[in-house]
Structure 1
Amino acid sequence: MPSASNAQYDPLARRKIELSRHASKRASQRAITQDCVPLILAYGERSHDGRGGVRYLLTQRSMASLGRAIGHSQRLEALAGCYAVVDAANEQTVITLGHRYQ
């Protein structure tokens, strides 16, 4: 499944991002703070998951871009491999959050 860049993201556009109850629970279980979700959506590589969702994954390439934009830190490095799945219909509701381990 080819991944697409998230170049169309407009950081100035004020999207209202909502976390589903499931996503909130997974975020707390997986130590992903809610203030990190906009970073995942802004810099993550976008791809369709095949189940009606869009996945934003922080790959090495997207982490390098994020690091250039806001600097490097241990907290930022902890986001490597994090993903957010959003509803493909409106891309405002986060369905789940997690870590991809390789």
Structure 2
Amino acid sequence: MANKNFERIMEGLGEALEVAEGRAKPDSFRVHVPAEVDVRAVRKQLGLSQSQFAARFGFSTSAVADWEQGRRRPEAAARTLLMVIAREPEAVERALSAA
């Protein structure tokens, strides 16, 4: 396991060097989606109820409840959005209100 992790780190460093030297474009690399997101913590950080959180960011209330209770896991796109909400909730709100 440690050897595989080392190989992944070295591969990432090689890719970063290629971008830094102009031999590759940064958009040619894959985005790494978080494996887990603490939905309850994100919601509580904003001081919202489950229904308020769901309505504000376009989720169903039942999905938010299921994620928080561990009955379901957010899909990759939802995990990505949840991480952006955790870091920049105002940006997400602006983007969604402009749609």
TM-score w.r.t. the length of structure 2 is 0.28
Structure with the higher helix share, 1 or 2: 2
More strand as a share of residues: 1
Instruction: State the TM-score, normalizing by the size of structure 1.
Output: 0.28
| Rg larger in structure | 2
Say which structure, 1 or 2, has more relative contact order (CA 8 Å, 6+ apart). Answer: 1
